[in-house]
């Protein structure tokens, strides 16, 4: 393996990351800057590998030495990000060079997800019943929240997908009735089939919506 070949693999890896990021509807300016920083780090590692004589296969000790260059105890996240970037790339390299070593991840995740809470059927029922006791909101707003919770619970939609639905995306006259979810995560679209009972509740909600909004915004949850 020489510098040009490994650099080409790195560019293919980065091109895939850029393509995925580009179609992600949740991408923002901060994500773009983070991606550029990861590209810079990976190219830095490839250059370091070249300066060390292009040892092949790549060993964990080489990665540790690269991380140690310029390491400072006042900037622990710097080393952590370098580990994440190179680990992801070397996992791809190992698909055709099994002897490639993957440095053990000794860091805690940069972003720790909260433990998800799984709502029971009883939880959902009580939550929906509580909607009708909401104060300082209109009856139509209560109906909207009620319909939204029921839709999320019965279809598994993401909250952003449900809020983005337009009236034209709700296909209740088809067989089977379904929702057209467009430009979802990673730019994908899909049809979500509705249970007959859910379709019936949506029909009732759309009648209420039509009366309350009198033909105003097309957003379903408006």
Instruction: Return d(Cα 185, Cα 114) in angstroms, integer.
Output: 20
Residue 184 has pLDDT above 60, yes or no: yes
pLDDT of residue 104: 83
On whether residue 99 sits in a domain, the answer given is: no
Whether residue 66 is found in the same domain as residue 128: no
On whether residue 159 sits in a domain, the answer given is: yes
Residue 53 φ/ψ region, left for φ over 0, alpha for ψ in the -120 to 50 degree band, beta for the rest:
left
pLDDT of residue 141: 93
Q: What percent of the chain has pLDDT over 70?
A: 87
Residue 54 φ/ψ region, left for φ over 0, alpha for ψ in the -120 to 50 degree band, beta for the rest:
left
pLDDT of residue 124: 95
Whether residue 191 is found in the same domain as residue 131: yes
**Across all residues in the chain, what is the average pLDDT?**
87
Whether residue 29 is found in the same domain as residue 80: yes
Is residue 91 within 8 A of residue 85, CB to CB? The reply is no
Whether residue 129 is found in the same domain as residue 201: yes
**Average pLDDT score over residue span 179-194:** 83
- Pick from 47, 39, 37, 45: nearest CA to 13: 39
Per-residue tokens: 99: 């002897």
Residue 94 has pLDDT above 90, yes or no: yes
Residue 187 has pLDDT above 80, yes or no: no
Per-residue tokens: 158: 């993401």
- Pick from 183, 181, 179, 163: nearest CA to 171: 179
Instruction: Return d(Cα 132, Cα 64) in angstroms, integer.
Output: 59
Whether residue 45 is found in the same domain as residue 81: yes
pLDDT of residue 109: 60
pLDDT tens per residue, range 103-118: 887 766 656 677 888 8
Residue 213 contacts by C-beta under 8 Å, 6 or more apart in sequence? 140, 222
Return the SS3 of 181: strand
Which residue in the block uniquely carries the two structure tokens 């805690």?
A: 108
pLDDT tens per residue, range 28-86: 666 678 888 889 999 999 999 999 999 999 999 999 999 888 777 777 678 888 888 99
pLDDT of residue 73: 74
What domain range is 188 assigned to?
Answer: 121-213
- Residue 26 pLDDT level (bands cut at 50, 70, 90): low
Domain boundary among 93, 110, 129: 93
Residue 221 has pLDDT above 90, yes or no: no
Exposure of 157 in the CB half-sphere (CA atoms within 13 A)? 28
On whether residue 109 sits in a domain, the answer given is: no
Instruction: Return d(Cα 164, Cα 50) in angstroms, integer.
Output: 49
pLDDT of residue 33: 80
Whether residue 125 is found in the same domain as residue 88: no
pLDDT tens per residue, range 130-145: 999 998 889 999 999 9
- Pick from 177, 138, 175: nearest CA to 154: 177
pLDDT of residue 132: 94
């Amino acid at each position: 393996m020489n510098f040009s070949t490994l650099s080409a693999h790195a560019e293919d890896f980065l091109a895939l990351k850029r393509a995925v990021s580009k179609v992600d509807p949740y991408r923002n300016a901060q994500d773009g800057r983070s991606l550029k920083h990861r590209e810079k780090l990976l190219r830095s590692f490839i250059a370091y590998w070249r300066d060390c004589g292009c040892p092949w296969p790549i060993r964990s000790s080489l990665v540790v030495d690269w991380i140690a260059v310029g390491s400072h105890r006042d900037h622990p996240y710097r080393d952590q990000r370098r580990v994440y970037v190179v680990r992801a790339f070397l996992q791809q390299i190992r698909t055709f060079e099994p002897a490639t070593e993957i440095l053990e991840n000794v860091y805690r995740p940069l972003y720790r997800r909260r433990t998800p809470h799984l709502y029971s059927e009883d939880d959902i029922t009580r939550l929906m019943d509580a909607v009708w006791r909401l104060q300082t909101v209109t009856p139509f707003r209560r109906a909207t929240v009620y319909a939204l919770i029921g839709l999320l619970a019965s279809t598994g939609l993401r909250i952003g997908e449900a809020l983005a639905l337009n009236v034209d995306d709700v296909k209740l006259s088809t067989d089977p009735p379904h929702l057209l979810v467009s430009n979802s995560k990673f730019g994908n679209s899909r049809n979500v089939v509705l249970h007959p009972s859910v379709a019936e509740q949506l029909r009732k909600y759309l009648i209420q919506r039509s009366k309350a909004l009198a033909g105003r915004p097309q957003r379903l949850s408006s």
